Amino acid sequence: MAIEKNVITITELTRQIKFSLESSFPRVWVEGEISNFKQHTSGHLYFTLKDEGAQLSALMWRSRVANLTFQPEDGMKVIARGSITVYPPRGNYQLDVDQIQPIGLGELQLAFERLKQKLDREGLFDAEHKKRIPEFPECIGLVTSETGAALQDIRSVLSRRHPSVEVILAPVRVQGVGAAEEIADAIKHMNQYGGIDVMIVGRGGGSLEDLWAFNEEVVARAIYASKIPIISAVGHEIDFSIADFVADLRAPTPSAAAELVVRDRSELLEDIGNLCYTMRGAFDNQVSALREQTTSLITSYSFNRPKDLVREFSQRIDELERSLGISFAHAAQIVHQKYNSLQRQLQALNPGGVLKRGYAIVRKEGRIVPSADLLGYGDEADIQFHNGTVGVKVEKGH
């Protein structure tokens, strides 16, 4: 005998459940602690409401978010009003929230705030204790889970941006009992190991409970005591942990930490190329400037003044030489004229010239007889004419 079976599809079953739940709980008020809070790029809010025994998925549409008077956060206790709905593609039921009222922080959030205030008072967050992150690290230490997505993200970014950098992993648990102690011990061991330029400590995103290991005091003090600069990379951009405040640098995500810790090789090579180009340009400009300065100096009046002086002195010598020649010629002419004049005078006074004019010189015994009184009868004398001399004897006196 065949048994009749009433078989329905999953879609039909989900539809019946959806109708039953949504009609039974058209609008309810529930109290719980917010966890896994996320605001989608669309503007919708997705979170979980939980208490000691259960949890409920919840969402709030963007049109209702604008009416909120506060910013929901993980760990916050709230009263939420909404309708129970079913999301058929996943078969999940959820609370479609239209109103939220805060009623106080959850226990974890309170513990977070208390520890934050305590460490802040002790100076663990002070800027003067922050160590400088090296610009070109050769060895990077990672303190994270060896099975988590954060490790793969960091390695992927480092391999792409700077594959030559050395990476040393200290595998730890990043959530659960004992995770904080493992993280703190790994930080200490990294410092003892030596040769590490910078550390990245963190994990991927999660709820406040998932990230709680990085809010433990033991981790905060290990980060503070580290001699190696530490970058905290815990959760997503909206997640903040105690480790973020103590660390030397906070990265919004593990991938962002990897991008912050190393320069992109291609960008570095481009910077080096630009630097070389700039240096070459500066060198060429300097050479050109010096060449122009040299040319200007060579052609300047001051530089050419010695040449001008030489030329001026040379010209002055020529002028003096010409002047000396003229003066010498003039003086010679004057001397020549004086010579001619004296010669004429001498010629005029020359007895030979006088004799040519018909005069004669009378000598007696070789001596000139200037007067006829000096000759007597019978004296002998010589008479000199211009062309000869004749002897005479005085026969008749005056």
86 in the same domain as 145: no
Asked whether residue 150 is domain-assigned, the answer is yes
252 in the same domain as 123: yes
249 in the same domain as 151: yes
pLDDT tens sequence across 308-343? 677 777 788 888 888 888 888 888 888 888 888 887
238 in the same domain as 188: yes
160 in the same domain as 81: no
According to the model, what pLDDT value does residue 305 have?
66
Q: How far apart are CA 46 and CA 236, in angstroms?
A: 15
According to the model, what pLDDT value does residue 70 have?
66
Range of the domain at 387: 352-393
Read off the CATH number of the domain in which 69 is found: 2.40.50.140
How many domains does the chain fold into?
A: 3
Q: How far apart are CA 213 and CA 179, in angstroms?
A: 6
22 in the same domain as 153: no
Asked whether residue 339 is domain-assigned, the answer is no
127 in the same domain as 237: yes
Give the pair of three-digit tokens for residue 272.
Answer: 């080096």
According to the model, what pLDDT value does residue 276 have?
84
218 in the same domain as 116: yes
Q: How far apart are CA 26 and CA 148, in angstroms?
A: 41
According to the model, what pLDDT value does residue 92 have?
84
According to the model, what pLDDT value does residue 114 have?
82
According to the model, what pLDDT value does residue 229 have?
96
Q: How far apart are CA 21 and CA 42, in angstroms?
A: 27
According to the model, what pLDDT value does residue 322 have?
84
128 in the same domain as 248: yes
Mean pLDDT by 10 residues, the chain (398 residues): 69 81 81 90 91 90 78 83 86 87 68 87 93 92 93 92 91 88 95 93 86 91 95 86 94 92 76 81 85 77 67 79 84 86 76 72 82 79 82 75
Residue 208, helix vs strand vs coil = coil
Smallest CA-to-CA distance from 67 within 37, 33, 101, 42 is with: 101
Asked whether residue 268 is domain-assigned, the answer is no
According to the model, what pLDDT value does residue 111 have?
75
Asked whether residue 186 is domain-assigned, the answer is yes
119 in the same domain as 51: no
Q: Which among 104, 122, 142 is the end of a domain? A: 104
46 in the same domain as 22: yes
Q: Which long-range contacts (CB under 8 A, 24 or more apart) does 226-229 make?
A: 226/187, 226/190, 226/191, 226/199, 227/191, 228/131, 228/141, 228/190, 228/191, 228/196, 228/197, 228/198, 228/199, 229/131, 229/132, 229/133, 229/134, 229/197, 229/198, 229/199
54 in the same domain as 92: yes
> pTM score, two decimals?
0.49
Asked whether residue 83 is domain-assigned, the answer is yes
